[in-house]
Chain A
Amino acid sequence: MRRRFRLRVRASRLATYSSFVAETLGGSLTVAAAVLSALAFLFVLFLAPVGAPSSGLFAVLFFTNVGYSVIALSGASAMVSDLRGSAQVFLSQPLSRTIYALAWLVALLASMIAVFSALLLSLAVIDPGLLGTLSLSIALAWLLDSALLSLLLLAAALLLRRTSVLVITWAAVEFGVFLLFFSEQLAQAVVVLRPLYGVLSHGGAVDTPVLAGSVLLAAALLALLYWLARARLEV
């Protein structure tokens, strides 16, 4: 009974603080998600009819993914500046270290889901038939790709606490990884980190082992984030 009450209190704190992060601490996180959602409609309108039903649609997914990666970068750098500034106030009481770190993750993942929902619904507004061309594996690849980047950036923010390092990490994951795809052997390993690129290499579908590998990697990064929050955040 007591345990359940504690869990509920923690969940409530996590929800409240992540809302605070999304609207206030994260700077323009909400605005950026809304702007990218509006842009997603334009991407869909201008690109979806190209080579319908596939090539233009993949371009929409990639552009939106890059747009979200910029949001994730700005969110992670807002976390760095918060850690250098007012985070101590919240971390003393009543916020625990893990809830603090998870709140940032939840805020980023919420904006990711918001952008992806806006993208899907933009497709539905233009032509519901376009939704049928987007397979579940591609949708999962988009979500996993973005979630992995968010986890990686937040872990880097907690570990190194430097915006410049975040920018390098973001550039390496977003563009550097793409260069590794020129080698077939490296591509098979790297596609776990960027499952969306699997859409390109497997001609419009992502293999289940790749998605499973990405889920495992995401779980490992989440565990790392949890450990970093406990080990690296001072109270």
Chain B
Amino acid sequence: MLRLLGYALMAAACMALLVMLLAAGSSGITMHSSYIYGGITLRASAYRGQSLLMLFEPQHFFPAMGSTHVEGFTSALDVEMRHTQRVTLGLVLFNPTPANLTQQVSVTSVLLENLTLRDLSCYTFDRRTYRSRVEPLLDMAAGDWFAYDLLERALGLAASEVKGVADPAGGYRVTLQVGNETVALCALGFDASSAHVVFENGTRTPPEVFFASLRSAAIQPRASHPPYLTLNVVLREYLLYKPTAMQVVRALALLAAGAVLVALDVLLTGSPPFLFLHKLRRILRRRGT
């Protein structure tokens, strides 16, 4: 009976070592992927000169991201932007009526055309720093399209920054690893120099006029209704397994323990090891003849 246990442990250890070898040979084993296509809710956005800066939190789409505490596993995020000439920005605008002071909320869909994606970067923050210092800045910037400096200050508190790589099709892609105590924030930089804003009723306005009208409080965004950006985005969150040295040591120890159990059984019973292999060989030989 000891050898049965020994074989079982050896089999588990061999499988463990095989998987670890495969994972170490490649750049890790990817598992449990989940995807988001199409649109993203923005955490904060700002306009300055001809530049638009839009931030989004990937963990808003993947709440379990970075929550695994199992050794050797890390959460990873692939962000890919393609074909960004036409971007739809959905806004809930607050429109006070001057005649009476009752405030009405009108939902206005605004289309931003000819925007050019200039850069894509993703940042990671220590969870504590993010909660105490970054989130308050983002909250302040969420309802203010001119809070460019606030957003830049928030990004300046990042622990690491990964810049997107431009692909030949004109898009950008970035891969980010998110640890247990880490929060990710991605920033999209747009060039709005040749852009124009189209309202639901077909009215066209240059972006500077549109944002100036926001500033003049004729219409304002609301922090409780964040802008929704529809563009060709693919977000992919997955777990990446890379074996640690301790895992390899533990697998080798398991293999040794299994071998000891089999050897012990062989010593106690006197029957040769791997009898089932002889039986298997006999069956195969019989089938061959």
Binding site for B on A (CB under 8 A): 15-16, 18-19, 22-24, 28-31, 33-42, 45-46, 48-53, 106, 110-111, 113-115, 117-119, 121-122, 124-130
Among A15, A34, A48, A125: residue with most chain B CB under 10 A:
A125
In the docked arrangement, what's the CA distance between A126 and B246, Å?
9
Q: A121-B254, A122-B16 are in contact. List 8 more A-B contacts (CB 8 A).
A: A19-B269, A33-B8, A37-B8, A37-B15, A111-B8, A118-B8, A121-B9, A127-B72
What 0/1 readout, one digit per residue, does chain B (204-226) give for beta carbons within 8 Å of chain A?
00000000000000000000000
For the complex, would chain B's binding face be called helix, strand, loop or mixed by DSSP majority?
helix
- Cβ-based interface call for B165 (8 A): no
Interface check B120, CB cutoff 8 A: no
* Distance to closest chain B CB from A49 (angstroms): 4
Q: Could you write out 13 A-B pairs with CB less than 8 Å apart?
A: A23-B275, A24-B279, A37-B8, A41-B12, A49-B239, A110-B1, A111-B8, A118-B8, A125-B13, A125-B16, A127-B72, A128-B250, A129-B70
Q: Is the CB of A30 within 8 A of B16?
A: no
Q: How many residues of B contact A (CB 8 A)?
A: 38
Q: Is the CB of A38 within 8 A of B70?
A: no
Chain A residues whose C-beta falls within 8 Å of the C-beta of B279 in the assembled complex: 23-24
In the complex the two chains form, is B14's CB within 8 Å of A38's CB?
A: yes
Contact A23 B70 (CB under 8 A): no
Residues of B within 8 A of A50 (CB): 32
- Is residue B190 within 8 Å, beta carbon to beta carbon, of the partner chain? no
Known: A52-B68, A127-B71. A30 touches B19 (CB 8 A): no
> Do B19 and A42 touch (CB < 8 A)?
yes
Q: How far is the CA of A8 from the CA of B64 in the complex (A)?
A: 57
CB distance from A52 to the nearest CB of B (A): 5
CB pair A18–B1 under 8 Å, yes or no, is: yes
Q: How far is the CA of A219 from the CA of B2 in the complex (A)?
A: 25
Among residues of B, the one whose C-beta sits closest to the C-beta of A110 is B1
Chain B residue with the shortest CB-CB distance to A42: B15
* A48 pairs with B12, CB closer than 8 A: no
Residues on B with beta carbons closer than 8 Å to the beta carbon of A19: 1, 3, 269, 271
* B162 is an interface residue with CB less than 8 A from chain A: no
Cβ-closest chain A residue relative to B251: A125
B236-267: which residues lie under 8 A (CB-CB) from chain A? Answer: 239, 241, 247, 250-251, 254, 257
Whole-angstrom distance between the Cβ of A46 and the nearest chain B Cβ: 6
Closest 4 CB pairs of A and B: A114-B8, A37-B8, A34-B11, A38-B15
